[in-house]
C-alpha cells in the first residue's frame, strides 16, 4: 500500500492536526514541506491552502476531510465515533473551533502578535486588547466543556480534541492566552493530559510562529 503523504508546513495548526490523526491510528506517513499556494498545494487544493494529502493516486484537501478518510480507511482507534450522538458532538466541536475559535485565537489574537500590521512592526496592542475578552470567553467555554467528562466529547478522546490541541499549543505561549489558561484549571489539566499523548509529542512543530496562511478546515 502506498504511503500517505501530508503536504504543508510543520508549523501549521491544521497540518499538525492531519499528522496527529496519522499518529493516533499508526498510519505510516511522510510530511512534505510545502507552502500555501505552492505548485504542490495548488495541484490539490483549489484555493492553495494547507494541508493537502496524497495517498497513491488519491488526492484530498481540507483537514476534516483528510481525517475522515484516514479514520475510515485504516484500522486503529476510531477518532470520529460511530455512535450518532457522539459523532454529532464531535462534528459540533470541530465546527465551533474551525468557524469561530480559530478566527479568534489564531487569526486575530496570535497574528496581531506575530504578523502585526503596525507601522513599526510591533504587536498591535489595540487589536490584541480588543480581542482579549473574546479569547477569555472562549477559553471559559472550553473549560466548562472538558469539565464534564475530561474531553470535548464526554469521556472519550476524539478528533475534536485533536482539532483543538494545536491551537491551544500556540495560544498558551502569549501573555493573555497564558493568563486565560491559568484561570481555567480544568482546561489546563486537559491540555497537559492530552499533550502527553505520543501523537502530540511526535508532531511538535519547529521553533517559530505558525504560518500566516494555513488551511481553514471546513
Please give the Cα distance from 54 to 44 (Å, whole number): 9
Last residue of a domain, one of 18, 48, 73: 73
Total domains present in the chain: 2
Same domain, 134 and 56: no
What are 24-77's pLDDT values in tens digits?
999 999 999 999 999 999 999 999 999 999 999 999 999 999 999 999 999 999
Calculate mean pLDDT across residues 81-96.
Answer: 97
Same domain, 153 and 176: yes
217 located within any domain: no
Calculate mean pLDDT across residues 157-186.
Answer: 95
Same domain, 197 and 126: yes
Using 50, 70 and 90 to split pLDDT, how confident is the model at 190?
very high
Last residue of a domain, one of 19, 40, 73: 73
101 located within any domain: yes
Same domain, 34 and 88: no
Same domain, 107 and 180: yes
Using 50, 70 and 90 to split pLDDT, how confident is the model at 210?
low
208 located within any domain: no
Same domain, 145 and 169: yes
Identify the bridge partners of residue 55 per DSSP, sorted by sequence position: 4, 58
213 located within any domain: no
Same domain, 9 and 96: no
CB 65 within 8 A of CB 41: no
| Best CA proximity match to 83, nearest among 154, 174, 2 | 154
Q: Residue 167: CB partners within 8 Å, gap ≥ 6? A: 13, 97, 101, 102, 105, 106
Last residue of a domain, one of 12, 42, 73: 73
212 located within any domain: no
Same domain, 63 and 88: no
Q: What is the mean pLDDT of the chain?
A: 94
C-alpha neighbours within 13 Å on the C-beta side of residue 89: 17
Same domain, 37 and 112: no
Same domain, 96 and 186: yes
79 located within any domain: no
Please give the Cα distance from 99 to 217 (Å, whole number): 8
CB 186 within 8 A of CB 145: no
Whole-model pTM: value is 0.93
- Report how far Cα 105 is from the mean position of its chain's Cα atoms: 11
The domain of 142 spans: 84-202
Calculate mean pLDDT across residues 167-191.
Answer: 95
Please give the Cα distance from 197 to 93 (Å, whole number): 20
The grid coordinates of residue 119 equal 507601522
Say if residue 211's pLDDT is above 80. Answer: no
What are 121-151's pLDDT values in tens digits?
899 999 999 999 999 999 999 999 999 999 9
Same domain, 33 and 137: no
- The label of the residue with cell 505561549 reads 173
Phi first, then psi, for residue 120 (nearest 5°) are: -95, 0
Q: Residue 15: CB partners within 8 Å, gap ≥ 6? A: 6, 8, 9, 31, 50, 51, 63, 214, 215
Most distant pair of Cα atoms in the chain: their distance: 52
51 located within any domain: yes
Q: What is the CATH number of the domain that holds 167?
A: 1.20.1050.10
214 located within any domain: no
Q: What is the CATH number of the domain that holds 52?
A: 3.40.30.10
C-alpha neighbours within 13 Å on the C-beta side of residue 106: 26
The grid coordinates of residue 22 equal 496519522
Q: What is the DSSP letter of 140?
A: H
Same domain, 40 and 117: no
Helix (H) or strand (E) holding 30, with range, is strand 29-32
Amino acid at each position: 500500500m502506498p504511503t500517505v503523504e501530508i503536504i504543508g508546513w510543520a508549523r501549521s495548526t491544521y497540518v499538525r492536526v492531519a499528522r496527529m490523526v496519522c499518529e493516533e491510528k499508526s498510519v505510516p506517513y511522510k510530511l512534505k514541506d510545502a507552502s500555501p499556494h505552492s505548485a504542490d498545494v495548488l495541484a490539490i487544493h483549489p484555493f492553495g491552502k494547507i494541508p493537502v494529502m496524497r495517498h497513491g493516486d488519491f488526492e484530498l484537501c481540507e483537514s476534516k476531510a483528510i481525517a475522515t478518510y484516514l479514520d475510515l480507511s485504516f484500522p486503529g482507534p476510531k477518532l470520529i465515533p460511530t455512535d450518532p450522538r457522539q459523532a454529532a458532538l464531535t462534528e459540533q466541536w470541530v465546527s465551533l473551533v474551525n468557524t469561530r475559535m480559530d478566527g479568534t485565537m489564531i487569526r486575530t489574537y496570535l497574528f496581531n502578535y506575530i504578523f502585526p500590521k503596525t507601522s513599526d512592526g510591533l504587536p498591535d496592542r489595540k487589536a490584541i486588547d480588543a480581542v482579549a475578552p473574546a479569547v477569555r470567553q472562549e477559553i471559559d467555554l472550553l473549560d466548562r466543556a472538558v469539565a464534564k467528562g475530561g474531553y470535548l466529547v464526554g469521556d472519550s478522546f476524539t478528533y475534536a480534541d485533536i482539532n483543538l490541541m494545536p491551537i491551544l499549543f500556540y495560544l498558551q505561549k502569549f501573555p493573555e492566552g497564558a493568563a486565560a489558561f491559568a484561570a481555567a484549571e480544568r482546561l489546563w489539566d486537559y491540555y497537559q493530559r492530552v499533550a502527553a499523548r505520543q501523537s502530540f509529542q511526535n508532531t511538535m512543530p519547529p521553533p517559530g510562529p505558525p504560518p500566516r496562511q494555513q488551511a481553514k478546515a471546513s
